[in-house]
Amino acid sequence: MPVLMQDRVSPPHAKARLVGRDVIHRWEGNPIIQLEDIPFRCNTVFNAAAIKFHDEYLLLVRVEDQRGRSIFALAQSEDGYRFVVAPEPVMTPAEEGLFATYEACGIEDPRITLLDGTYYVMYTAYSHYGPRLALARTDDFQTFERIALISEPVNKDGALFPKKINGHYARLDRPNVGSTGNIWISYSDDLIHWGGSEVVMTTRPDHWDCSRIGASAPPIETEQGWLEIYHGVKEAAAGPLYRLGAVMLDLENPAHVLGRAAIPILTPREYCERVGDIGNVVFSCGAILEEQTREVKMYYGAADTCICVGTAKIDALIKRCFEQEDSE
Amino acid sequence: MSEPAYQSERRSEVRQTTPADRISWVRERATRTCAGWVSNVSPSGIALIAPTRDRPTPGERIELTFDPESRAPRYKRVQVVRTAPYDRFFSVIGCMEDFAEERAGNLREAGEQAG
């Protein structure tokens, strides 16, 4: 008996979706941006900054070109789930001046912060001297004005606070020591010169974040403190395993940790998170708090090959910060 | 001009909303793969959500790939019957199963099994 073509195509809803084990609930339509969505030639797409701009959701997407350098492209959406990527990159490595020297190998992992009415993009400038932090600002997300290179190498994962702390600009960052790194905080009066650095939190032996940690999304202000979604790495036999966690920092003194979740809020589990250019990676550079629904939309790069979105109630994330074990 | 009978019959079919599964699709004889999401299914068709700038026009035949990232993706050929705006960036693409292709495929398979 011949096999009908329709029999070979099970209905799309047949794929079972069970309740996940993570606080973050993945959107069923993940990945939201993959190579097919990029209208220009490139190698891969991942790690996106996120912001609500007027009535749109914007992602500043890290795209690796075919040469191997990273650049930024803009993706727009009305609902925060379905994004259209602009036909050309909006920010590429500088070609002249000081920035050209330190962006020779690309620009990476942007984080957008709205501070005093200005949109700032903190990103990693990458060169053969190593990664260092850079800062730019924009009004329209079409053109970007570079402000300064704001750290020495090796430093990355810079995230600017959306408010001044005790009159000073503040940022989280991750200076590396060998193959390990912890989350630090630094302060500035002009966004160019930074100091007052101190360590905020360190890796934890025997935990999922035992090898190195770094800020992911820019801190989100809550009544309980600054909610920071961070990434943690565990060097496993098969390579590094990147997961996402949550920590609550003191509003007045963000160097003081109020609570840190014992377990991750997101772990690579789905196929697109497991398999890609760098497998077993979930890595966020941006999250948007929906004020009305109290829901956080967290955007994350998966396996350095695509971008996904997941959601969680902010109260669940806050609660998780103060739990020392998995209570569910 | 009245629409063909099969079209009005299709309009009255129950459309079942589905999870927004990722899908990729390609135009006939084209090489560029486009992306989208499943919107709903009916007994004789399927609706996708795809970027407006990529949308196919009614009458075009496209091939859909379900579970494009899996080791065993599944394919289906359809004919675009209508498109409508979804939002500022996306359109809903209404597709009808390509029965002519399906019949041809079945005949081929029947021949292969017999041979």
- Check residue B18 and give its pLDDT: 77
Tens-digit pLDDT profile for residues B4-26: 555 666 667 777 777 888 999 99
- Check residue B110 and give its pLDDT: 61
Tens-digit pLDDT profile for residues A40-92: 999 999 999 999 999 999 999 999 999 999 999 999 999 999 999 999 999 99
Terminal alpha carbon distance of chain A: 50
Give the CATH number for residue B13: 2.40.10.220
Across the interface, which of B49, B69, B106 has its CB nearest the CB of A272? B69
Answer whether residue A171 shows pLDDT above 80. yes
Three-class secondary structure of residue B104 per DSSP: helix
**Largest Cα span, chain B:** 52
Test B113 with A2 for CB contact under 8 angstroms.
Answer: yes
Looking at CA atoms only, how far is residue B22 from chain A in angstroms?
5
Residue found by looking up tokens 């103060």 in the block: A322
Ramachandran quadrant class, B86 (left: phi over 0; alpha: psi -120 to 50; beta: rest): alpha
Q: Choose from A35, A82, A270 for mutation: most chain B CBs within 10 A.
A: A82
Which structure tokens are listed for A7?
């029999």
Domains of chain A: 21-321 (2.115.10.20)
Instruction: Provide the domain count of chain B.
Output: 1
State which residue of chain B sits closest to A274, comparing Cα positions. B69
Tell me the sheet residues that pair with B25.
Answer: B34, B64
State the average pLDDT over residues A106-118. 98
Q: Choose from A57, A84, A306, A308 for mutation: most chain B CBs within 10 A.
A: A84
Query: What is the edge-to-edge ordering of all strands in the sheet holding A295-302?
Result: A25-26, A306-313, A295-302, A282-290
- Check residue B20 and give its pLDDT: 83
Answer whether residue A165 shows pLDDT above 70. yes
Residue A295's alpha-carbon distances to A26, A116, A218, A265, B65, in angstroms, are: 13, 24, 16, 14, 32
Give the distance, in angstroms, between the CA of residue B86 and the centroid of all CA atoms in the same chain: 17
- Check residue A183 and give its pLDDT: 98
Test A9 with B24 for CB contact under 8 angstroms.
Answer: no
Weakest mean pLDDT among A90-94, A215-219, B32-36: B32-36
Answer whether residue A284 shows pLDDT above 70. yes
State which residue of chain B sits closest to A9, comparing Cα positions. B74
Beta-carbon neighbour count of residue A117 at 10 Å?
6
Q: What is the domain range of residue B11?
A: 5-114
Test A36 with B35 for CB contact under 8 angstroms.
Answer: yes
